[in-house]
């Protein structure tokens, strides 16, 4: 039986559909809707209209669209929707460094910033075993700042492929984010693009690429979690782009 769920081969098509609301967000959507209704029943129409906008935003924030994940043994998929704000060579965070993590040599880090209007469901970049899951309490600085990687509330993941290649990625809370929620636990077997967590509300995800791998995204490019190819393992060719 084929595992292909979508392809670019001729024949067939697909229709747009409303994205579902993740179960974690339904209670917030219900609360916002009840408050909105109360204002309307009290006759406070101006506030009611404002709360209606808030309710729609809450529903949008927790949307969980279906994503079509590219297959291939070498692909590294974006773990987050958002804007590529930094590509830098850094030493892995101490919590996921060392022989049982990503090692101690500098790695390329791709940072993806999520605004409050982006989808906030995060996904694993590769398939494999979740070897590390480390939560670190911290501050709530602007997630776009470089020091947020070391000072903000964050959660580290290390996923190991069957061939031993490991990739790390980190959820980083932002100014208005107040909770990082994992959907997985250590030892879980993950498939590429699988949902692994959620950050409320506005944040950043860093991806640490293995040696010999160069990003296939550019600064200022937007990514889609579970769909955009961030890199190909073993591919070191640089790419250029132009804003237009």
Cβ–Cβ contacts within 10 Å for residue 97, how many? 18
What is the rounded distance in angstroms from the CA atom of residue 153 to the CA atom of residue 202? 13
User: What is the per-residue burial (b if ≥16 Cβ within 10 Å, else e) of 126-149?
Assistant: bbbebbbbbebeeebbebbeeebb
What is the rounded distance in angstroms from the CA atom of residue 206 to the CA atom of residue 133? 14
What is the rounded distance in angstroms from the CA atom of residue 212 to the CA atom of residue 107? 9
Residue 203 is a catalytic residue: yes
Catalytic residue among 20, 60, 73, 203: 203
Positions annotated as catalytic residues are: 203
């Amino acid at each position: 039986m084929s595992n292909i769920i979508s392809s670019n081969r001729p024949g067939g098509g697909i229709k747009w559909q409303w994205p579902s609301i993740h179960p974690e967000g339904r209670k917030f959507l219900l609360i916002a809707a009840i408050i909105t209704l109360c204002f309307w029943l009290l006759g406070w129409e101006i506030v009611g209209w404002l709360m209606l906008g808030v309710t729609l935003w809450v529903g949008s924030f927790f949307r969980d669209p279906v994503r079509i994940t590219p297959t291939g043994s070498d692909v590294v998929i974006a773990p987050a929707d958002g804007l590529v704000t930094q590509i830098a060579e850094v030493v892995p965070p101490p919590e996921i460094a060392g022989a049982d993590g990503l090692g101690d040599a500098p790695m390329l880090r791709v940072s993806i910033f999520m605004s409050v209007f982006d989808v906030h469901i995060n996904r694993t970049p590769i398939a494999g075993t979740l070897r590390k899951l480390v939560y670190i309490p911290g501050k709530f600085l602007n997630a776009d700042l470089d020091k947020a990687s070391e000072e903000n509330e964050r959660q580290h993941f290390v996923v190991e492929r069957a061939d031993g290649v490991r990739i790390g990625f980190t959820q980083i809370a932002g100014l208005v984010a107040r909770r990082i929620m994992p959907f997985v636990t250590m030892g879980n077997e993950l498939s590429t693009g699988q949902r692994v967590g959620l950050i409320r509300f506005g944040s950043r995800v860093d991806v640490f690429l293995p040696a010999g791998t160069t990003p296939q995204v550019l600064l200022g490019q937007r990514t889609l979690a579970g769909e955009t190819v961030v890199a190909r393992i073993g591919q070191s060719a640089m790419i250029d782009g132009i804003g237009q």
